[in-house]
Amino acid sequence: MSDLPEKLFRDPIWNSLRTTQNHFAIAAGEAVRYPADVVPFAAVATLQPETLRQLRTLLGREESVWIATEEKPDSPDLVYEDTIQCFQMVLPQEVTPPAPTMELEKLSEAHAQEMVVLTTLAFPVYFRARTCEMGTYYGVRSPAGELIAMGGERFKLEEYSEISAVCTHPDFRGRGLAANIMWQIVRDHRRDGIVSWLHVGCKNTRAVKLYNRMGFEIVRTITLHRLSTKN
């Protein structure tokens, strides 16, 4: 089975922003975040009070971000709001992606608004106006021209790219659109010598089953906490 190195993947947000995606990084001391119009994720080197105060300076009024840490953050400067657990899954190199079975459209910044509208049906707030700048995205359109399925890349580390924002309009599910999009991304990754991996909510059993059928394997569980500047 392919592995996701603990050193990199215990906090892929921090490591992406400090390496491959440092062009997105907005930092203060030992706190760093993505721009608000990219994704609502941030990271801190430690959970020390001073570091969390530094994170607070990076956030706008009544803004929230997710950070990856096993320990629940406790800060007088930030309001704790929620915790979710996600599986980190990886596609072993011995799994061979199938040949394409449908035509996909390569999406770009010009399609950002359509992408936000579609992803809002599945996971509101996470996909934003500039999320598509994080990697390559593909989509499928209905006969009427509506974007009905999409997926692409989000966090990137050296030799590892996360598959993310995979979703299908409820009226078009069950047709294999999401899997076809994911396989195209995997084919791109294999061409470039990249390992394909992803996050999925532990409670999202439907998605976990799909990824298992494709050959993805659970490597570990990661905990995300949402902090805000409310009040």
CA 70 to chain centre: 18
Q: What is the mean pLDDT of residues 164-172?
A: 97
Q: Where are the alpha helices (DSSP H) in the chain?
A: 6-9, 12-18, 49-57, 112-122, 177-191, 205-214
Q: What is the pTM of this model?
A: 0.95
Residues 6+ apart with CB under 8 A from 38: 24, 128, 130, 131, 133, 134
Q: Is the pLDDT of residue 27 over 80?
A: yes
**73 with 80: CB under 8 angstroms?**
yes
> 179 near 166, Cβ under 8 Å?
no
The residues that bridge with 39 in the sheet, in sequence order, are none
Share of the chain above pLDDT 90, in %: 98
Decide if 88 contacts 9 (C-beta within 8 A).
Answer: yes
Residue 231: pLDDT band with limits 50, 70, 90: low
Q: Is the pLDDT of residue 1 over 60?
A: no
Structure tokens at 163: 């598959």
Render 87-139 in DSSP notation, one character per residue. EEEE--TTPPPPPP-S--EEE-GGGHHHHHHHHHHHSTTTS-TTGGGGS-EEE
Share of the chain above pLDDT 70, in %: 99
| pLDDT, mean over the chain | 96
Mean pLDDT of 185-206: 97
Q: What does the alpha-carbon distance between residue 134 and residue 98 come to, in Å, rounded to a whole number?
A: 25
Amino acid at the residue 98: P
Phi, psi (deg, nearest 5) at residue 169: -55, 135
* Residue of 189, 127, 199, 117 lying closest to 159 (CA atoms): 189
Domains in the chain, please, with CATH?
Answer: 6-87+224-228 (3.40.630.30), 89-221 (3.40.630.30)
Distance between CA atoms of residues 92 and 12, nearest Å: 19
